[in-house]
Amino acid sequence: MKKINLPGIRIVTISGRIASGATTLANNLAKELGWKHIEGGEIIWKASEIAKAGGCAKDTHKRPDVKDRQFEDYQKQLLKTENNLVIETKLSGFCAQGIDGVFKILVVANDKHGKDQPGIRIDRLVNREKSTIKEAKDEILHREKHDLEKWRRMYANNNPKWVYWDEKYYDLVINTFEFDREKVLDIALKAINLK
């Protein structure tokens, strides 16, 4: 498929809490644009490889801070220099602040009152990963808690209210609780002036 160039947009970042729909949107958007899709795990491993370091734990709290700094540096390098790329990581929108040519999308799974629906996200993870409910709860509730603890310390001066899903960091917020994957893609395409 031919790459579609978007005036003023070199990169689209997609961020969201675990099982909020970020991967689905990133895959669909990259396919529609003919762009490369890079997700967080790839960046973590590439950053480790660049630093000539060993493996990197998926659980944020088990990773040394230096690994997160390598991840952040490599991600920022991509954000500043690459073109025709969809980057999907929890922190990509946050890391892209002040970088030209980056359109930042946040996906959430909130009810009509704006409250996150962890039960929906757990159910999605069970279906996607074929994991048990206990494993999915662990992934969503515990891993998310550890992510926030570490990143609040590293990026927000231990501010207990800081979250990477704060809407102020994004150009577009899409609620996947309200829309199916086709509509979510349609909203994103309209926002980047493709439809």
Provide the residue range defining the domain that includes 45: 11-179
Is 20 a member of any domain? yes
Quote the pLDDT of residue 61.
65
Residue 81's CB is within 10 A of a number of other CB atoms, namely 11
Token code pair at residue 38: 């890079």
CATH (domain of 49): 3.40.50.300
Half-sphere exposure of residue 81, counting CA atoms within 13 Å on the CB side? 6
Quote the pLDDT of residue 46.
57
What is the radius of gyration, based on Cα positions, of the chain? 16
Comparing 54-63, 74-83, 95-104, 137-146, the range with the smallest average pLDDT is 54-63
Whose CA is closest to 166, among 3, 15, 10?
A: 15
Is 193 a member of any domain? no
Q: How far is CA 124 from the centre of its chain?
A: 16
Q: Are 177 and 117 in contact (CB under 8 A)?
A: yes
pLDDT in tens, 108-152: 999 999 999 998 999 998 988 888 999 899 888 888 999 999 999
Domain count, the chain: 1
Comparing 7-21, 84-98, 119-133, 166-180, the range with the smallest average pLDDT is 119-133
Is 66 a member of any domain? yes
pLDDT in tens, 165-181: 999 999 999 999 999 99
Sheet of 11-16, strands arranged across: 36-39, 85-88, 11-16, 102-108, 172-175
Is 96 a member of any domain? yes
Please classify residue 161 by burial: count the beta carbons closer than 10 Å to its beta carbon, then call 0-12 exposed, 13-18 middle and 19+ buried.
Answer: exposed
Please classify residue 46 by burial: count the beta carbons closer than 10 Å to its beta carbon, then call 0-12 exposed, 13-18 middle and 19+ buried.
Answer: middle
Q: Sign (positive/negative) of CA torsion 103, 50, 91, 153? A: negative
